[in-house]
Amino acid sequence: MTSIKPSYPSEFRFYQPIQVRYADLDTLRHVNNVAIMAYVEHARTGYYKATGIWDGEMRDGFGMVVASVKIDYLVSIQYEDEVRVGVKIASLGTKSLRFAFSVESADGATQYARGEVVMVAFDHEAGRSREVPEAWRRSLAAYENDEELLKNA
């Protein structure tokens, strides 16, 4: 097991439907852990667009880099399973953004995996971290309807 706290959000405002591909399966005939991480990344970028912190255009590198990924794999995903990934901002630091996620069945009845991804706001031109932009804080707080996200600003 990981060091992730055992309590997770049970509901998310944002869910990304995922198409399980035959290529995602491994020799054990279930979805490989690497494919599940790709599902999470796909959902996270969808969340960025839904919240308004990214418009989907690549301009000199998007302003975040992955600092940490923690995941608990709970139930195997099979080829015919209908899957969605819930994503939410769990907390904002001065330079970091912590996202919680849940990989689950389309109806939410089965949780396949859960975890968190810590992203660091990054200035690609300068090659170093930067503070989380105020516009991101406002957009995330508005999307999640959570004014607490503005407190570290």
83-92 and 14-18: which strand pairing? Answer: antiparallel
Domain boundaries, the chain: 14-150
Q: In b/e form, how buried is each residue of 37-58, taking b as 16+ CB within 10 angstroms?
A: bebbeebbebbbebbebbeeee
pLDDT digit string (tens) for 3-15? 444 445 668 999 9
- Which value, in Å, is the radius of gyration of the alpha carbons in the chain? 16
Distance of CA 66 to the CA centre of its chain: 11
Predicted TM-score (pTM) of the model is 0.90
Check: CB of residue 124 under 8 Å from CB of residue 63.
Answer: yes
Distance CA 100, CA 119 (A): 11
- In the CATH hierarchy, which top-level class contains the domain 14-150? alpha beta
| Average pLDDT taken over every residue of the chain | 91
Confidence class for position 60, pLDDT limits 50, 70, 90: low
Give the per-residue pLDDT at 124. Answer: 86
Q: pLDDT tens-digit profile of 19-32?
A: 999 999 999 999 99
Q: How far apart are CA 53 and CA 50, in angstroms?
A: 8
Considering only CA atoms, which of 129, 143, 141 is closest in space to residue 64? 129
Give the rounded percent of residues in the chain with a pLDDT score beyond 90: 80
CB atoms inside a 10 Å sphere around CB 125 = 8
